[in-house]
Structure 1
């Protein structure tokens, strides 16, 4: 009887014990920095068509972490593309999960036409719609509509260059964002809904236009959500760079997109900073941006 109890305990540990090592987005003790860095490694292999190794890295990663699907990388799309290219038998099932979790697949590769055609052949239109319905059910449409309205008002005022109104609505948006963060924490993209009706739910647009002192008050909150998987390294670095520019006329991470601005000349130091928050090197960022630009302009 005692041996049976011990055996049952061992089996239970083997079956369920490993699950305790699985990290979910927003977990209290989550650390997604290693996750981000592995995504770039897999991405670099994907772009040079080493599909097998890229797949292996992502498959191992997704067994340890809930998938984030970084807006700049769409690592789940990369995973599906590699799965198809190496003829993994479970690709069809994985496609359904992709639509249910992310609404679209998002593949950045010069062979995207071949890959999309292959993936489409593995799933019916009915299955796609069914999976997307799951995605829609998880969206907080009330929160989504509120943020869309805030973004639209912000952009409208800035287009008209009405500085007095900018100040007014910046203050209003501070209050609204405080309320949102208090009630929801930092809202994830799956809660806001990505790729619907071409409407922007890019929260960073609002955060970049807050009063600098308010952004400084939120830096610790931003960092927590960067680490727990809710806030991407690109978005976080852009916010920090914006404030660093205003104080020092240069970027801290080299991520803020604006021509004519410089980052510190010591790229080794900058790359060390970038790695700490889960960003790729400046060289890889530049290489990939060029690749995507050429892809978008039909040069492949």
Structure 2
């Protein structure tokens, strides 16, 4: 049986599993451990998820049970409150994770921390090149194997490439059939920056625009392909995205069966005609549209 690539080679030569476990809002350590036991090797967390301690416990228990730490790829993300000193911020994450290093640490959003005291918020205005110098020190000090960014557009990446000493290994962005971002993917691939998509199933519990709006998993095209190929709608969405040579992190918070089904998408290669059908349903609709956040005023995130 043909299958999709189960791993991605970063520009450093390091291998990253192409399908990882996203842990946003996950608080069940045993579920994370169960996912690792059933084949997940890329585990994605963040300071803002407030669950680094739980993720670290699951990883350490998996290692105690015989899974080599070298088999696992651990990603975390520094929130804007840590941008003034990424090294110290990552050290705090490592303490919560109870790990000596992470495989990848990301700048979570291209925005500065906001001081909300007083009548109106004010930005601390730390320039990105200063933040990135701190990220590079994380590698130099052995705290992270790789550094990268999340939610960066072409403009911000092009700017970063002009001053960085260590090129970002990854750009993690929202990717699903209703938010396809083909130009950004192309730019990253041309510059050897690996794209990893989050929310690859959009968010079934959070329809775009409120009630009555069709979610990705209920899209007629997705459902038609799933029924024809005897797959789940989730597997269709994952296989379509993986065919674009991107990595993915997908969350399954309640069902280990669904988590295993998601991994099985690696064994499902879609018909090119079906891929083309999905390519045509892009709506540029986002689950996480930070342009509306108070913290992101006047920050050039999206075109």
Q: Same fold (TM over 0.5)?
A: no
Tell me which of the two structures has the higher relative contact order, counting C-alpha pairs closer than 8 angstroms and 6 or more residues apart. Answer: 2
Pick the structure with more strand per residue.
2
Pick the structure with more helix per residue.
1
Is the radius of gyration larger for structure 1 or structure 2?
1
